[in-house]
Amino acid sequence: MSATADITIVGAGIVGAACAAACAQAGLNVVVVDRGPVGGGTTAAGMGHLVVMDDSPAQFALTAYSRRLWRELAPQLPSNVEFDPCGTLWVAADEEEMAEVRRKEAFYREHGVKVEVLDEAALAQAEPNLRAGLAGGLVVTEDAVLYPPGAARFLLETAPAGRVQVRTGIEVNAISRDGTVRLRDGTRLAAAVVVNAAGCDSPLLTPDLPVRKRKGHLVITERHPGFVRHQIVELGYLKSAHAVAADSVAFNIQPRKTGQMLIGSSRQFNANSTEINQPILDRMVRRALEYLPTLGQLTAIRCWTGHRAATPDKLPLIGPSLDCERVWLATGHEGLGITTSLGTGKLLADLLLKRPTEIPAWPYSPERLAHGDAPHG
Amino acid sequence: MAERLTILVNGQPVDVRAGTVVAAALAQAGVTQFRRSLHGEPRGPLCGMGVCGECRVTINGQPHCRSCLTLCAPGMEVRTDD
Amino acid sequence: MTSHAFEVVVVGAGPAGIAAACTVADAGRPVALVDNSPWLGGQIWRGEEANPVQRAARQWLKRAAAARVTIFREASVFTVSLPQRLLVETPAGAVELGWQRLVIATGARERFVPFPGWTLPGVVGPGGLQALVKAGWPIAGKRVVVAGSGPLLLAVADGLKHRGAHIRLIAEQAPSSRVLQFGFALGRHPAKLAQGLRLKARLLGVPYRCGCWPVRASGDEAARQVTLTDGRRTWTETCDYLACAFGLAPNLELPRLLGCRLADGFVQVNEFQETSVKDVFCAGEPTGIAGADAALVAGCIAGFAAIGNPGQARALFGARARWQRFGRALRDAFAMRPELRRLAEAETVVCRCEDVRRGELERHDNWRAAKLHTRCGMGNCQGRVCGDAANFLFGWTNDSVRPPLLPVRVTSLLSPVADVNQNPTPPAGNQP
């Protein structure tokens, strides 16, 4: 049925979509299969924050590269993708966190990322609804937000004509070592290479992948335009995101182009149900209210959970799988999949075609975790 | 049950019977358009029973209040089309 | 946030909920009755608490007022915090209600079918307009076209006429042959027959036409004209209001959130009105549209069952069966004609909260994909209006219920601080 496909991509989330778009750009014919709709898994559950992060040099390289690709794409994005270059505001609660602001500022400036430091007064002016008495903050001016399912759909629909075939509502049962994909209805899809971009489900199709589900909660509000102007994240977020063992919450709020706000964030391992965990939701909302006391009077319209596909070293898996050259991986992006999807797609296409990559690809190679030599841990 | 009270609708006093819901007070004041849709179309109450959200107005500064289920209270300030 | 615990919590204070709550209270058991409106009576008995007109409503509301029922008004159940705990938003903040048995009596809402112009102010549900009029909406001297489907159209036209409205036309989509058959079937329910005849008499001089339906409402800032058709010819009526809905759709959000099994679009219950979830009962329209009399009987059965009195519940099975037959006759008589699926044009808004048009929805093949990619159902009504419409237009099911079930203040999402009082003394009187 698709004997002409060069690549089968399992997963029509933003990562699968970006891989499909990059492969199609490179002249390959692609079939994308997903059990749900386009962008219906983790892509639908997350915030859609395009952010440069510097937990590690490799994380910085991939996020900065990807954000550059998003900004290049931005003029073409249709309105339903809701691209909004609102910037990220990292809030420092105290002098200790201000020291982190200055460290981050120096690092970002050195690497050509535009930033602006805010003192207490400038912070109050930038975000009047933040509580008084915060130390300051750092604005990363070129960070942005978008609506991830819309972006995934855009990437698939604007790929070069005829090169990408999307098949949704189709469950994949298995990926074989010979590069065929067996569907639930018994049919097979053959291609030169299969890419497992199934996110949280990727370990079900490629055994022994070091990918675990990390649960998150979000709340979305009614339209209250202008209540916050940047995506605001507490610098304590870094402590939360790093805390691997315990459940953690951090203040993270995102203004949507609709005037709505997304309130996050939480992180939990060993929590595979999709149900809302009231104690975690409670802690998450309380944390947000500590920073934005009047947020409590606004209207919440929906809460939900999602799972991030997390790896032990917080870097994605991009490249051929360990035991089979015809099965490739593009998974394990944890909370940064929306940002790093475009970089992932380009790296994957370049690696497939054995072209030089624009940033070093080895930090994301699946091999790294096999030898227990994670570069950052 | 002839008790009456006054609320403010877009700054104008409106005198209503106790037991009147805000949506009805707005209609008494001649308001037909309660809000504008995302694309700017006029909208007014549809379901009358707290389901559809089309009758949302700002009451005492709180946006997105369902006027069909909110009873008028003395001195209440109601704004439409905010 | 405060917490209260009750043996039985009843959600919804329409006929089913009132009957269930009174049944439990009369047995001396602690019971709470929760409703999101300021009044008891639900939609069908709206206004009866302040100004009783219907006999059954007067009797039951009087009984509820006398019973030891703790009533929470303007109280919206919005989520489940823990097993057997509900979170409820009230004007004074969120409240947690613990229960050992829960009775869901959330009733129904009007079903709207999109057509060009249905979003104009002045196009309103018949039940909705009646409810608003009872709460002070000025209707005297206004010209009203009542349209859609079901016996509610007649009751509403009567109520509006009584308050001085000029009813231009009652347009029933069902063919007259079916409606007549339904009229004959009422012979098995003498009370309903008499009710119908009285209505008919009071509406003397008001044209009631079967087999016709609205195709368009027009006007600049509000509906001023409605175009109707009987399938062969179309004509226009001028009006101040078009009161139009096509029967009722059950409120299934709470049972869905609790995981109750559904069948054919209604909550599945056993003979004791118990759902697939242990200790969760359901009565009234969520189990099948059959009207207030059916709801009263089912509410009593649920109440008896909830306090472990199967004998008295059983005694009511016969009455319930009779009203269920009435419900089936209702459904058959007022079945929706397929032409109604074609009223909405590509440019017609289906999701009013997010302004999503039919043409955008048609590019998708299920509710979830359409929601993700068009925002249909993501707005303030949480997919209630557009979900019912999409169900009718495309056969899609909106089964993704997410809390809060209704928009609430962000602070209401916080957990209660105090522990639930396990041995409650219900607050004296009718208000907590």
Identify all chain C residues contacting A46, using CB atoms and an 8 Å cutoff.
Answer: none
Average pLDDT along chain C: 93
What is the total count of domains within chain B?
Answer: 1
Identify all chain B residues contacting C133, using CB atoms and an 8 Å cutoff.
Answer: 24
Structure tokens at C150: 């079901």
CA distance B45 to chain C (A): 7
Q: Do both A43 and A173 map to the same domain?
A: yes
Residue A56 lies in a domain: no
DSSP string, C357-383: EHHHHTT-SSHHHHHHHH-TT-STTTT
Q: Do both A204 and A327 map to the same domain?
A: yes
pLDDT for position C310? 97
For residue A303, the chain C residue with the least C-alpha distance is C403
pLDDT for position A157? 96
* Cβ pair B45:C124 closer than 8 A: yes
pLDDT for position C365? 93
A257 interface with B at CB cutoff 8 Å: no
Q: Do both C118 and C105 map to the same domain?
A: no
Nearest to C354 among B25, B33, B38 (CB): B38
Give the CATH number of the domain where residue A229 resides: 3.30.9.10
Identify all chain C residues contacting A35, using CB atoms and an 8 Å cutoff.
Answer: none
pLDDT for position A372? 53
Size of interface A-C (CB pairs under 8 A): 86
Q: Do both C77 and C128 map to the same domain?
A: no
Burial class (CB in 10 A: 0-12, 13-18, 19+), B17: middle
**Cα separation values, A123 from A293, A313, C77, C152, Å:** 16, 33, 38, 58
> What is the Cα–Cα distance from C56 to A305, expressed in whole angstroms?
45
Residue A161 lies in a domain: yes
pLDDT for position B82? 59
Cis peptide before C255 (omega within 30 of 0): no
Q: Do both A32 and A113 map to the same domain?
A: no
Which candidate, B62, B18, B70, places its Cα nearest to that of B45? B70
Residue C29 lies in a domain: yes
Q: Do both A134 and A255 map to the same domain?
A: yes
Which of A267, A288, A310 is where one domain is finished? A310
pLDDT for position A17? 98
Q: Do both A24 and A161 map to the same domain?
A: yes
Q: Do both A235 and A304 map to the same domain?
A: yes
Q: Do both C100 and C21 map to the same domain?
A: yes
Residue A77 lies in a domain: no
Which of A310, A331, A347 is where one domain is finished? A310
Q: Do both C212 and C95 map to the same domain?
A: no
Give the CATH number of the domain where residue C65 resides: 3.50.50.60
Residue C148 lies in a domain: yes
Residue C217 lies in a domain: yes
Identify all chain A residues contacting C76, using CB atoms and an 8 Å cutoff.
Answer: none
CA distance C372 to chain B (A): 18
Q: Do both C192 and C204 map to the same domain?
A: yes
Residue C416 lies in a domain: no
Give the CATH number of the domain where residue B45 resides: 3.10.20.440
Q: Do both A227 and A347 map to the same domain?
A: no
Beta strands A317-320 and A327-331: pairing type?
antiparallel
Q: Do both C82 and C118 map to the same domain?
A: no
Phi, psi of B80 (to 5 degrees): -110, 160
Q: Do both A114 and A20 map to the same domain?
A: no
Which of A310, A332, A361 is where one domain is finished? A310
* Cβ pair A224:B63 closer than 8 A: yes
DSSP state of A359: S
Nearest to C37 among B24, B27, B69 (CB): B69
What average pLDDT does the segment A320-332 reach?
Answer: 94
Residue C417 lies in a domain: no
Which residues contact residue C83 at a Cβ distance below 8 angstroms, ignoring those fewer than 6 apart?
none
Beta strands C93-104 and C280-282: pairing type?
parallel
pLDDT for position B2? 62
Residue A294 lies in a domain: yes
B37 interface with A at CB cutoff 8 Å: no
CA distance A351 to chain C (A): 32
Burial class (CB in 10 A: 0-12, 13-18, 19+), C75: buried
For residue B21, the chain C residue with the least C-alpha distance is C135
Q: What is the pLDDT of residues C45-93, one digit of tens each?
A: 998 988 888 899 999 999 999 999 999 999 999 999 888 999 999 999 9
Beta strands C225-229 and C213-218: pairing type?
antiparallel
What average pLDDT does the segment A186-190 reach?
Answer: 93
Q: What is the pLDDT of residues B34-60, one digit of tens each?
A: 999 999 999 999 999 999 999 999 999
Identify all chain B residues contacting A224, using CB atoms and an 8 Å cutoff.
Answer: 63
Residue C421 lies in a domain: no
What is the total count of domains within chain A?
Answer: 2
Range of the domain at A126: 84-143+212-310
Cis peptide before A79 (omega within 30 of 0): no
* Cβ pair A222:B62 closer than 8 A: no
Does residue A38 carry a pLDDT above 50?
A: yes
CB atoms within 10 A of CB C176: 14
Q: Do both A138 and A231 map to the same domain?
A: yes
Does residue A59 carry a pLDDT above 70?
A: yes
Which own/partner contact pairs does C198-202 have at CB distance under 8 Å and 24+ positions apart? C199/C154, C199/C155, C199/C158, C200/C154, C202/C158, C202/C161, C202/C162
What is the total count of domains within chain C?
Answer: 3
Q: Do both A167 and A303 map to the same domain?
A: no
Q: What is the pLDDT of residues A74-126, one digit of tens each?
A: 999 999 999 999 999 999 999 999 999 999 999 999 999 999 999 999 999 99
* Cβ pair A282:C413 closer than 8 A: yes
Phi, psi of A97 (to 5 degrees): -75, -25
Q: Do both C215 and C158 map to the same domain?
A: yes
C279 interface with B at CB cutoff 8 Å: no
* Cβ pair C408:A299 closer than 8 A: yes
Residue A245: band (very low, low, confident or very high) from pLDDT cuts 50, 70, 90: low
Residue A65 lies in a domain: no
Q: Do both A162 and A105 map to the same domain?
A: no
> What is the Cα–Cα distance from C144 to C160, expressed in whole angstroms?
9
Does residue A246 carry a pLDDT above 90?
A: no
> What is the Cα–Cα distance from B16 to B29, expressed in whole angstroms?
10
Residue C319 lies in a domain: yes
Range of the domain at B37: 4-79
Identify all chain A residues contacting C413, using CB atoms and an 8 Å cutoff.
Answer: 219, 281-282, 285, 300, 303
- Model ipTM? 0.97
CB atoms within 10 A of CB A53: 22
Residue C408 lies in a domain: no
Q: Do both C177 and C123 map to the same domain?
A: yes
Does residue A244 carry a pLDDT above 70?
A: no
Range of the domain at C181: 112-246
Contact C179, C210 (CB under 8 A): yes
Which residues contact residue B9 at a Cβ distance below 8 angstroms, ignoring those fewer than 6 apart?
B25, B26, B29, B31, B78, B80
Give the CATH number of the domain where residue A41 resides: 3.50.50.60
Q: Do both A223 and A163 map to the same domain?
A: no
Please give, one letter per residue, the 3-state secondary structure of C285-305: HHHCCCCHHHHHHHHHHHHHH
* Cβ pair B71:C38 closer than 8 A: yes
Testing the interface with B: which of A222, A258, A261, A294 to mutate, by most B Cβ within 10 A? A222
Nearest to B51 among C120, C123, C381 (CB): C381
> What is the Cα–Cα distance from C336 to C341, expressed in whole angstroms?
9
pLDDT tens-digit profile, chain C (432 residues): 789 999 999 999 999 999 999 999 999 999 999 999 999 999 999 989 888 888 999 999 999 999 999 999 999 999 998 889 999 999 999 999 999 999 999 999 999 999 999 999 999 999 999 999 999 999 999 999 999 999 999 999 999 999 999 999 999 999 999 998 888 878 778 788 788 888 888 888 899 999 999 999 999 999 999 999 999 999 999 999 999 999 999 999 999 999 999 999 999 999 999 999 999 999 999 999 999 999 999 999 999 999 999 999 999 999 999 999 999 999 999 999 999 999 999 999 999 999 999 999 999 999 999 999 999 999 999 999 999 999 999 999 987 789 999 999 999 999 876 444 444 444 434 443
Contact A156, A38 (CB under 8 A): yes
Helix (H) or strand (E) holding C310: helix C310-314
